[in-house]
Amino acid sequence: MYDPKPEHKFTFGLWTVGNIGRDPFGQPTRDALSPAQIVRLLGEVGAYGVNYHDNDLIPIDADEAQAAQITREFKQALSDTGLKVPMATTNLFADPVFKDGAFTSNNPKVRAYALQKVMRSIDLGVELGAEVYVFWGGREGTETDASKNPLDAIKRFREALNFLCEYVIDNGYNLKFALEPKPNEPRGDIFQPTVGHMLAFIETLDHPEMVGLNPEVAHEHMAGLNFLHAIAQAWDAGKLFHIDLNDQMFGRYDQDFRFGSAMLKQAFFVVKFLEDVGYQGMRHFDAHAYRTEDYEGVKWFARGCMRTYLILKEKAQRFNQDPEIQALLAEINAADPSLDYLAQGYSRETANRLKAEAFDRVGIGQRGLPYEHLDQLTVELLLGVR
């Protein structure tokens, strides 16, 4: 019942299950797997697809022969397992050339090299079937604001995306861009730190219709924000192109935990939202196993992300069918026919009528709302006793 199926659209990045457990304080705890081995592992646990950065697949220093061989093996593993490549992205953060950013670097050569790297990577991504291309500006930021004018940074970022949108159009690619905000880490501050910032920025681009969001649970949590509210706003704007599911406690380092492992109730409302609105995109788990694990633990991690999603999806159905919960929701959202005239929006007559209304302010303010009751029922449902 909780086994992943292709229609669930569960995907993982090569860098997620392929994470070798290196952190700023310690060496890897797992041997590296080749991209083809990672694809086979994902096939074994039942994922639908695999995403990658250009350099997860092909090392930045590989020659043409090496690149061709890796790509061949990767394609073979894809065809053996049936896995798809729905999303691709560029590593614009690991190499020292990007130490001060890529599109927002103060060095014009770095900015130009970043564009070149993205164009080449887009070509391969499209060849492998990707229809979404992610931009996570991990190094696009500062430690000291003496070093970079934030207005310049925003303009440079815009110019880069405008250039790349034209590249996609010029080549007739069926590809949309998904911007992924993060407030900090690895930079002291990263530009356009939240979903809200990115949504506003997109409207300033030459082709806003091609560009949307790839919100990540952990990134909004790092900013102390409510992820559900963030994706609701992205959805409302027609911009929820992709999603990075994982988990993260507030006020901690960048944890990238297994989906639902830290803030289960938040995860429930996220799944319920995606299912209720009929989100058709990928459910991408951008997370990695604890550093303590071997590859058996990595499989527990990957299966756990998908299983928890499906369990929460079932809980969401129960929530929607629970008579007591639904009765409370109906009570909370009860319409008031005496105010139906407001549904037409503004007119001078409506405004005058509203100005003349007598409201029982004190009485309305005194009425209790059954939110404690509703929340407790939700918690009991999640705990499995309803």
Positions touching ligand GLT (CB under 6 A) are 15, 53, 89, 134, 136, 180, 216, 244, 286
Nearer to ligand GLT by Cβ, of 12 and 201: the residue is 12
Is residue 53 annotated as a catalytic residue, yes or no? yes
Give CA angle at 198 (193, 202), nearest 5°. Answer: 155
User: Ramachandran region of residue 58, left (φ > 0), alpha (ψ -120 to 50) or beta?
Assistant: beta
What residues make contact with Mn ion under the rule CB under 5 A?
216, 218, 244, 256, 286
**Pick 148 or 219: Cβ nearer ligand GLT:** 219
Choosing from 8, 23, 31, 56, the catalytic residue is: 56
**Partner interacting with residue 307 (select from Mn ion, ligand GLT, none; CB below 5-8 Å by kind):** none
Min separation Cβ 203 and ligand GLT, Å? 23
Q: Which does 89 bind (CB under 5 to 8 A by kind): ligand GLT, Mn ion, none?
A: ligand GLT
Nearest residue (CB) to ligand GLT, 161 versus 311:
161
Q: Considering CB distances under 5 to 8 angstroms, the limit depending on partner class, which of ligand GLT, Mn ion, none binds residue 15?
A: ligand GLT
In angstroms, give the least distance from the CB of 64 to Mn ion.
30
Question: How many other CB atoms are there within 10 angstroms of residue 308's CB atom?
Answer: 22
Least distance from Mn ion to the Cβ atom of residue 318, Å: 30
Q: Is 56 in the active site?
A: yes
- Give the chain as a 3 state SS string: CCCCCHHHCEEEEHHHHCCCCCECCECCCCCCCCHHHHHHHHHHHCCCEEEEEHHHHCCCCCCHHHHHHHHHHHHHHHHHHCCECCEEECCCCCCHHHECECCCCCCHHHHHHHHHHHHHHHHHHHHCCCCEEEEECCCCEECCCCCCCHHHHHHHHHHHHHHHHHHHHHCCCCCEEEEECCCCCCCCEECCCCHHHHHHHHCCCCCHHHEEECCEHHHHHHCCCCHHHHHHHHHHCCCECCCEECECCCCCCCCCECCCCCCHHHHHHHHHHHHHHCCCCCEEECCCCCCCCCHHHHHHHHHHHHHHHHHHHHHHHHHHHCHHHHHHHHHHCCCCHHHHHHHHCCCHHHHHHHHCCCCCHHHHHHCCCCHHHHHHHHHHHHCCCC
Question: Closest CB to ligand GLT among 20 and 377?
Answer: 20
CB closest to ligand GLT, residue no: 136
Nearer to ligand GLT, 185 or 206 (CB): 185
Q: Reading across the β-sheet that carries 87-89, which strands appear in turn?
A: 211-213, 176-180, 132-136, 87-89, 49-53, 10-13, 283-285, 244-245
By C-beta, is 89 or 105 nearer to ligand GLT?
89
Give the shortest CB-19-to-ligand GLT separation in angstroms.
8
Residue (12 or 15) nearer to ligand GLT, CB: 15
Identify the active-site residue in 53, 219, 242, 288.
53
Select from ligand GLT, Mn ion, none the partner in contact with residue 134, using the beta carbon and a kind-dependent cut-off of 5 to 8 Å.
ligand GLT
Q: How far is the CB of 65 from ligand GLT (least distance, A)?
A: 27
Q: Would you name the residues annotated as active-site residues?
A: 53, 56
